[in-house]
Chains A and B, each alone.
Chain A
Amino acid sequence: DAGVIQSPRHEVTEMGQEVTLRCKPISGHDYLFWYRQTMMRGLELLIYFNNNVPIDDSGMPEDRFSAKMPNASFSTLKIQPSEPRDSAVYFCASRQGTGRNQETQYFGPGTRLLVL
């Protein structure tokens, strides 16, 4: 099992540029989550999907952020335009279902974003 795959692992960009982060969840998992981690705010849930449908995007900080899941094996988080305060580590996680034995979320290695 390859686990959750994220790309790129590191991204350095200039303010105003568009940034696209990518995630491939574990095969067979119905849920996909996007998190952001910073020193100041800790781990924040941005948005999550169930069966490719966005369920809760209340954590998305601004309209500059958008996320899509066109199919069960791929999701993107886009920031346009990017700002220095978006610098953080962005994690993708997936989960199989909602039963007691399916609640565990499996995290990818993260994308470390630096906006100059």
Chain B
Amino acid sequence: GNSVTQMEGPVTLSEEAFLTINCTYTATGYPSLFWYVQYPGEGLQLLLKATKADDKGSNKGFEATYRKETTSFHLEKGSVQVSDSAVYFCALSAGSGANNLFFGTGTRLTVIP
């Protein structure tokens, strides 16, 4: 079946620290992978995505590389800011013709000054 497992939170970092949020997946077929971000009181927003193996998605200083060999899509940022405090969701779409997204449980990040 299709599922996403992401690291448990919460994660607390100091400003300018390096961020990694782990995400691994199980999928039938050839999934597309996504990271969504949810800021307090708001809906989910697409942060970045990758549609095939070895693709790197990037946005706002965040990056994630689609690793088929390790079935992973870890989110990284070199220097976090207080404004990055949010909940981050890893998700997959199980390939062409698939309809819904499978979401991880979310990881809450708090960045302190």
Task: List chain A residues, Cβ under 8 A from B99.
Answer: 31, 48, 50, 55-56, 98
CA distance A52 to B43 in the complex (A): 23
Beyond A31-B99, A99-B96, A100-B51, is A109–B32 a contact (Cβ under 8 Å)? Answer: no
Task: List chain B residues, Cβ under 8 A from A109.
Answer: 42-43
CB of B28, distance to nearest CB on chain A (Å) = 16
Task: List chain A residues, Cβ under 8 A from B89.
Answer: 43
Contact check, A48 vs B43: say whether CB atoms are below 8 A apart: no
CA distance A103 to B99 in the complex (A): 8
Beyond A33-B100, A98-B99, A100-B32, is A42–B46 a contact (Cβ under 8 Å)? Answer: no
Name the interface size band of chain B: 20 to 34
Task: List chain A residues, Cβ under 8 A from B97.
Answer: 98
CA distance A42 to B38 in the complex (A): 13
CB of A97, distance to nearest CB on chain B (Å) = 10
- CB closest chain-A residue, reference B97: A98
Tell me if A's interface is mostly helix, strand, loop or mixed.
strand
Contact check, A107 vs B98: say whether CB atoms are below 8 A apart: no
Task: List chain B residues, Cβ under 8 A from A65.
Answer: none
Contact check, A107 vs B45: say whether CB atoms are below 8 A apart: yes
B103 interface residue per 8 A CB criterion = yes
CA distance A93 to B103 in the complex (A): 14
CA distance A107 to B98 in the complex (A): 18
